[in-house]
Amino acid sequence: MVCTRNILLKAFLFGTALSICLIQSGVFKAMKSILASSANPEQETVSRHHSFGPSPSQNVSCEGAEHTRKFVPEDQLNDILERRAQEFNQHQLRLNRISLTNINLIAKANSPLQYPTSFNVAPLRKSLIPGLALQTRGKERKLYKVSLSVTSGVLSVEDVLDGQQVDGQGQSELSISSSSLTQLNDLLSRVTYTSTIYHIKTKDLVHFSFEDHEAMFPIMIRRPSVPVLYDPGKNISSQVTIITKTFMRYKELNVLIQSIRKFYPNIKIIVADDSLKPEHVSGNNIEHYIMPPAQGWFAGRNLALSQLTTKYFLWVDDDFVFFKESRIESFVEIMEAIPDLDVLGGEVSGNQFHFILEYDEGDEKEEGGCLRRIKGGFHQTLSGYDGCFLVDGVINYFLARTEAVRRIGFDPFLKRVGHTEFFIDALGKLLVASCKGLSIGHQTHRPQNKYDSFRTQGKLDEEKKLAHHFFKNYLNYIKY
């Protein structure tokens, strides 16, 4: 397969808009230390004010709203508050990652213009632009004048006094003049931006000029999102749900369930079933969902996924079998230690089967990009965990974060064969790893003519799937 590489520069930065109100001081100090050691002090400094941008919720009134805490049983409140705080901290680390999009970096280059490299604001809310300043060297001027302009908002200077020269208040173009550099910088420190177009994730571009010098920097306009947390409870059954999809394999399914109950008597099991003639599946804490016949592999996965109420789910095939090495706790320990991780795969009967995806967007004039799966490939080892690798896809035995996978979903178009396709959709959106030693067994295959006829992908199904990739994933070439 030949892939034409034509890298197109797309200057569009999407960051997270949640304002961080409470951050572990140790993590914050570590991040500042990293920034200080990696940046040239003459080019970038961290703003000491508005370090994480103005709080978008500072003017929100909660008068008359329900106080959610009062609905929590009093005897459980302290435990729940502790778990909730831990989960929210992980949520912040995952979504904010205390990254450069949340820290105002001030550019100090050879230009006399000082400005933030980028910062976040909420739509339609007034926010101070941090770090604006003019730093001239050499001869003094009789008059210092700077201009700023935007396209999707308005600019103002707060608390302007009589005699101070500010033109364009509340407009898209603003000019500030003063015979005193100190006074000019005081006015610049009070410049605000307010977007005039409501959008939940967009940006504006500020043009900042003085004499022959001009700079541009982006303003990230983000609607703050509400956290979605799952109470992990106090044991593995409150953290993890086991889900599977079955089709005409009740004997194998019952073996799987019995093996799960041997080691996890109370953990919830969700079964999505699109068998032609459904049979009753009984047992403690089992939810058995009957689907229309032969709806398919990914449709069943979506159904099971939709019914989850736990932070994690463990995917298993209906012909797997648990043994003493099948410790769900080992999955959870790694996922809890690495909040950025979304999916963690294990091994089935000694087969780890992980892969990476090489993807080239291709030329816009062509029919799309190209993608190739490389079996056994990995990006890096997972630091601190022997036999673990960062990859793009894993075997059909994995633990995943419920909320993360719900954002991707499973394409119900794929009825007969589908596995890699989920990881194609998740490429660049989910962080995936594979670990040796997280093991489960596989039952001996029992030939079933009717089942096998449905399970086997025919040539027509393969052609339909490739045509589906062409449109949905904008792919011109694909190689599994």
Domain boundary among 181, 200, 222: 222
**Judging by beta carbons within 10 Å of its beta carbon (0-12, 13-18, 19+), is residue 456 exposed, middle or buried?**
exposed
Does this model's pTM top 0.75?
A: yes
On whether both 263 and 169 belong to a single domain, the answer is no
Q: CA 91, 92, 93, 95: dihedral to nearest 10 degrees? A: 80
Model pLDDT, residue 84: 73
Q: How big is the CA angle at 170 (ends 165 and 174), to the nearest 5 degrees?
A: 45
Domain count along the chain:
2
CATH number at residue 440: 3.90.550.10
* Residues 379 and 337 grouped into a single domain: yes
Residue 90 lies in a domain: no
The letter for the amino acid at 83 is R
**DSSP assignment of 322-334:** --TT--HHHHHHH
Place of tokens 């009070």: 190
In a domain, 17, yes or no: no
CB distance 155 to 146 below 8 Å: no
359 and 444 fall within a common domain: yes
Which DSSP category does 469 fall into?
A: H
339 lies in a domain? yes
Residue in this structure with the two tokens 């003459």, named with its chain if needed = 42
Residues 175 and 309 in one domain: no
Find the CATH number of the domain harbouring 131: 2.60.40
**Shared-domain flag, residues 212 and 276:** no
Handedness of CA 323, 325, 326, 327 (dihedral sign): positive
Q: Tokens 């087969």 belong to which residue? A: 351
Given a cut of 50, the residues of the chain with pLDDT beneath it are 1-59, 61-62, 65-66, 97-102
Q: Is 37 contained in some domain?
A: no
- CB contact at 8 A, 224 and 120: no
Q: Is residue 416 part of a domain?
A: yes
**H/E element holding 399?**
strand 398-401
Question: CA–CA separation, 148 vs 117, rounded Å?
Answer: 15
Q: Are residues 369 and 249 in the same domain?
A: yes
Instruction: Give the long-range contacts of residues 36-44, CB within 8 A, separation 24 or more.
Output: 39/105, 41/108, 42/108, 42/109, 43/107, 43/108, 43/109, 44/105, 44/106, 44/107, 44/108, 44/117
What is the structure's pLDDT at 152?
A: 94
Q: 423: left (phi > 0), else alpha (psi -120 to 50), else beta?
A: alpha
Query: 194 is written with which tokens?
Result: 């307010």
Q: Which of 169, 198, 222 is the last residue of a domain?
A: 222
Same domain? For 247 and 337 the reply is yes
**470, 365 Cβ separation under 8 angstroms:** no
Is residue 102 a contact partner of residue 32, using CB atoms and an 8 Å limit? no
Question: How far is residue 180's CA from residue 192's CA, in Å, rounded to a whole number?
Answer: 21
Per-residue tokens: 219: 């303003």
- Judgement on whether residues 326 and 402 belong to the same structural domain of the protein: yes
| Single-letter residue type at 237 | S
Residue range of the domain that includes 123: 110-222
Same domain membership, residue 330 and residue 443: yes
Residue 385 lies in a domain: yes
Whether 193 and 273 share a structural domain: no
CA distance 389 to 433: 5
Are 288 and 203 part of one and the same domain?
A: no
Is 87 a domain residue?
Answer: no
| pLDDT at residue 468 in the model | 83
Strand 286-290 vs strand 269-273: parallel, antiparallel, or unpaired?
parallel
Written as six digits, the tokens of 343 are 């999916």
Do 464 and 431 share a structural domain?
A: yes
Spacing of C-alpha 47 from chain mean position: 26
Q: Tell me if 343 is assigned to some domain.
A: yes
Q: In 152-175, which positions are buried (b, 16+ CB within 10 angstroms) versus exposed (e)?
A: bbbbbbeeeeeeeebebeeeeebe
**Tokens standing for 51?**
């370090």
Q: Which two tokens stand for residue 376?
A: 């056994």
- Percent of the chain exceeding pLDDT 90 equals 58
For position 114, what pLDDT does the model report?
Answer: 93
